[in-house]
Structure 1
Amino acid sequence: MTPTISSISPGSIVAGPPSQTVTFTGTGYVASTAAALNGTALQAKYVSATSLQVAVPASALASGQIVSFVASNPSPGGGNSAAASFSIMSPTPILTGLSPQTVPQGAAATVTVNGSGCEANSVVMWNGVARPTVFVNGTTLQVSLTSMDLQSYGTGQITINNPGPGGKTTTPTELVVAANLPTIFSVSPSSVAVNASSNVPVSVSISGSGFAPNATVQANGQFVRVSSQSATNIRISIPPTFFTSAGSIQIVVSNPGSPAVQSNYATVTIATPAVSFSITPNSVAAGSPDTQITVSGSSFFQDSIVEWNTTPLSTAYVSSTQLTAVIPASLISGFAQASIQVSTPESQGQPLPPQPFTTFLALPINDIVYNAVDGLIYASIAGSAGEGLGNSIAGIDPNTGVILKTIFVGSEPTRIALSSDGTQLFTGLNGAGAVRQVNLTTATAGLQFSLGGDRESTTRRTSHRASLHFLVNLTRSRCTGTTA
């Protein structure tokens, strides 16, 4: 036998209650008659051949909708009844409050909507447009608003809509969109040179946060053109009339509001380019590692570059009066006489007077002489130079500072002199009270001549110094063409 449904009691249910029992009235019900809602089986209780009680779970009643009930008897001989429509009515929503009541301009926000009559398919509307909604419970919804929803300051309208059947929309509640507090972190460039003859605007980049899409910028109280902007960066164009004399420009960003919301001030300095500078240190020992120098002056800029013989060095801007630069070890590995220059685009091609930088040999040298025959400088190296160089004669390339010869000669070599043909060198040995011959061709130490007497003898020391003084003067006279 096929069952029928002629009526359902109650005739409708308001969405949101706990599980409910409805009664089918019809014909053909048996002890095994089953019921279903939208194809999902429900628990049924046989009352009589004309009455069936059906339990509807709360999950099926969570939102307003039109559903279909069907009764069925098992085979053989059974079948399904015609579908009977049933209304789950949407409650009338009421909006009582928002949390938060104010959101910042231009930033995505999640707002909690409080009230009553909320259901699973309730939708929160922003200015009449549905927005992604999360059903929390019958009194609470959450809505997600994008940064584009909130891009303009002022107020917007929040409503709750229950779609139906029987659904309604609440009276609007205002959500305040507060203008952001803009903040300037930095401006670039922060220094610009005086340029009275230019007719070209200067572009300045402002970095910060909280900039509204329609923010405005003032320079010394005058609105300037904004060429591009985002929430964290604004690029402006400042007229050339601002740069005719030394001074400063106060930059401020304003977000629209009632009143407008202003940022902190940032300063662009208008400076007269530097006329001179100094460097520290201005010399180092040849063979030194990477060396940092400090350049002191005035009106340096963030794009100022320190140069070594026109080659740019790694430069750091410290302030308008100080730069630092690193001279790589490769440039100071030997003898060097360099020109240090500061290049600044703002100086309009007017270079500053360069400063010299030199290297030197860091050796404990007692005496030195130049040999025109082989082109080397010969130096007597004190014993304090340590193993390898101490108590020796060193042959040094005057162009590179590289030691090409090291000839051990004995204890504390002092004054030195050359032979006329440049092949022999003579050095006094303070530690031995003697003079020693050195063969420069073979780079070997030769005969040693004692000066006699006790090593501490005043007469011997006087004679020793006099002999070497004569040899040195003799050598120098031969090199210069004068008479000793």
Structure 2
Amino acid sequence: MTSPWALQTTYVDSTTLTAVLPADKLRTAKTATIYVSDNTYNTISLRLPFAIGTMAPLLSGSEPQVVYAGNPGFNLTVYGSYLRPGMVVRWNGMPLSMVSTGPVWMAWVPASLIASPGSANITLVNSDGLVSNSRVLPVNPANTPPGYSPVITSINPTKLRAGGEGATLTISGSGFFTGSTVYWNNTPLSTTVSSPLQLFALVPASLMASPATVSITVVRANGIASLPRSLTIESVIPISSSVTPGGFIAGGDLSPITINGSRFLAGDRVFWNSVPLVVTSSTPTQLMATVPAQLISSPGTAVIKVVSGSLTSNPYPVVVYASVPIPTLAAVSPAYVNAGAAGFTVNVTGSDFLPGATIYWAGTPLATTFVSASEMNAAVPAGLVTESGQFDITMANAGGASSIPFTQMLVRPVLSTLTPSSIVAGSANVTLSVTGIGFRPTASCRIRSSDGDWVLRATYLSSTALSLQVPPEAIMNPGTITVSIGDTTNAAASRLVTVIVEPGKPTISTVLPGSATAAGPEFQLTVNGAHFYIGARVRWNTTDLSTRSHAVDGVGTIQSNRIARHCQPWRGKRVRGQVPHDGVPDPAGEPAHLEPESGFGRSRRAGVCPGGPWRQLFRRRSDELG
């Protein structure tokens, strides 16, 4: 259908469709037409009327719950939903005089209506004529001793399905004497008293034709009745969620079949296509039946359905194979475990799984549990995951060939500790000691830093110990590196562990040139040493010099340009000169104390560069002469 009234429709089978009626189509009372259209063949079905009216009142309770014959008239209070002005209470179909019409709804019951023992069927009728469900009000004999009435404590089943083929109610309680009768509203049921604590009643299919809420009471032969208990008749379609097994081998014998789902009721039937099966067990979530040999004598497919009265479940397919199928594996969960883990359960999904199939771990059979034609579980013992690696998972149906291996099951090595946990930047010949679980002789390591990514072979010591040689280029600069353990033969890898790369203390080995001529031209000063990093600066006294770094592996050269312009010869007194920074006179006027041309001595102090990220030291002339 293409009109605005087209409904979302679900195909159940060739005789059943379900459709969703949106709430916006129910806002006003009207009469609609329902029909089925087949766009493929451009045909439509016979049109049937469908009434959309206001909600009928719902009677949920009344007070009092029991009255006694011969008593005076009384006010009957009723409770429920969808009660509207003009609503009337009926006593066995007869309207009562309303005393109050909201928010408390009350009707007057004259003494003449309770002159003798019995019961009354209480209903509500709105002004539009819609009638509520009914509830039974017992009228017990006068002078009935307290506690003498029969008592209902439970009814089983608690719900029935509309359209069912009849049911047996098991009623438990007390005070059930010979001659007691169960009433369905005001209709007596065929009753069997098992004991004073239990009785059985047969509900004919005619009473279960449509959804409703009914009152169940027990009435003794002397007319004394119990308080009513409600019983719901639901219009709910049974649901099949899985069928086990999902496949059979052609030519097999009589075979059991299990249908798992929900909303199953006693008396529900199971069909293989259109052939009814013998149901051997029934619970609200599972039905068990037997499949006769003639239904699986040749290859093919079938549909399993659960039928409850006039309602049919969703179809569930099963396959009859010509021979034992080879299962197909689609996924394995979990995708990985850590080496040394405790035993665990592996879940395998795929297709063509049959009862009796076995899951294998690298060729070792596992204790396997069949779940469905597309799901199996197996127990993996701890002894199979002591070593890291990538392992094949396979499956074979009983008497059949094995599946194609599923090779994505990883057992990861466990990296526990790295020693040392910190390294000095620029260090050479650094070895890390590794402890963990599940290491193999083919173990590898991966080291990552801001300078690059290295994959190296590890030195295998044992399944719990390795040794790693750290590449010098990975620790050139301060920061961190991350280390993980893997294997050269598979994709299994451990967690990442971080190692701190600390800055080393800078040291100076030489300063070139080693001397300078006072009042000479600008020149380049080269400072050689170790642990020079990007950003290092050279200072002359307290003045920063223009600096270029050529550090490699933490050992290198720092060059400073134009560091002396105003040096004067020594004439028997202290010489004071301004040392410019990058060609610009130092605004602070910091003096540089220099030795005259006749001779240079070694400095007794070291210059410090506190402004940079690392301290740079170099020896300089600082003698004071005069």
Greater helix share, structure number = 1
TM-score by length of 1: 0.40
TM-score by length of 2: 0.32
Q: Which has the higher contact order (CA 8 A, sep 6+)?
A: 1
